[in-house]
Amino acid sequence: NAGVTQTPKFRVLKTGQSMTLLCAQDMNHEYMYWYRQDPGMGLRLIHYSVGEGTTAKGEVPDGYNVSRLKKQNFLLGLESAAPSQTSVYFCASRKTGGGNEQFFGPGTRLTVL
Amino acid sequence: DQQVKQNSPSLSVQEGRISILNCDYTNSMFDYFLWYKKYPAEGPTFLISISSIKDKNEDGRFTVFLNKSAKHLSLHIVPSQPGDSAVYFCAARSLTGGGNKLTFGTGTQLKVEL
């Protein structure tokens, strides 16, 4: 099992450009999450999904969109990148029932110039 | 408003001694608490958790204590090892809202010195 994988690992964008971050999990988990981590801020939830075809807003959703067309994939889109979106992005997944722990991917470091 | 607070950004401990990492929360609707460990350039990994109906949970060298009346939890690592050097995040799950969302603290950088 690869667990949770994220593509790409690093990316540099110019202000106004768009991009999509891909998260994939092979654990058949229902729940998936996108977080951003900034210095001194911990991890903040951007968007999440409780199942295929569903998405919901988290704590800091502005400027981002998401899609969950397949159960194993959760995409995070930036339509018009801003320097304030420079951050490390983590995807996580969680199974229904059982423990409450979320399993995290290795992260994507995004810089917006 | 930070609902989960880790007031110590860093902690330095000698190898073999006890490391105590603290976490305070304000939301009384939190019912489950977790600790995650994070190495540089990696994602957080789950370490240990505790339900709000318990006051202690132990797993090997790691013990989490929960004091509900004080809205405080702590992670004890005994004995501390150099490989424990990492950032530790406290997280909490709320009974309200859907999605089993977690609220994270800002993290404590633990350094275990030889």
pLDDT digits (tens, 9 = 90+) for B25-57: 999 999 999 999 999 999 999 999 999 999 999
Q: Please compute the mean of the pLDDT values over residues A71-90 and round it to a whole number.
A: 97
A34 near B CB under 8 A: no
Q: How far is B106 from chain A (nearest CA, A)?
A: 4
Instruction: Give how far Cα A95 sits from Cα of A29, A40, B77, B78, Å.
Output: 4, 29, 28, 31
In chain A, count H helices and then E strands: 0, 11
Consecutive sets of 10 residues in chain B, 114 residues long: mean pLDDT of each? 92 98 95 96 96 96 97 98 98 84 96 96
- b/e string for B29-49 if b means 16 or more Cβ within 10 A? ebebbbbbbbeeeebbebbbb
Q: Which residue has the higher pLDDT, A33 or B1?
A: A33
A25 near B CB under 8 A: no
Residue A99 has pLDDT above 80, yes or no: no
φ and ψ at residue A85, rounded to 5 degrees:
-90, 5
Q: What pLDDT does B1 receive? A: 73
Q: What pLDDT does A88 receive? A: 98
Q: What pLDDT does A6 receive? A: 98
- Per CB-CB distance under 8 Å, the chain B contacts of A33 are 101
> Which A positions 66-85 lie with beta carbon below 8 A of chain B?
none
Q: What pLDDT does A96 receive? A: 85
Q: Please compute the mean of the pLDDT values over residues A27-50 and round it to a whole number.
A: 95
Q: What pLDDT does B98 receive? A: 77
Token pair 């075809």 is found at A53
Say whether A96 sits in a helix, a strand or coil: coil
Contacts of A39 (CB under 8 A, 6+ apart): none
Contacts of A97 (CB under 8 A, 6+ apart): none
CB A4 within 8 Å of CB A29: no
Q: What pLDDT does A50 receive? A: 93
Q: What pLDDT does B34 receive? A: 97
Q: What pLDDT does A1 receive? A: 75
Q: Please compute the mean of the pLDDT values over residues A82-106 and round it to a whole number.
A: 93
Chain B residue with minimum CA distance to A90: B43
- Per CB-CB distance under 8 Å, the chain A contacts of B49 are 99-101
A44 near B CB under 8 A: yes
Assigned token pair, A10: 């690093």
Contact (CB<8Å) B104/A101: no
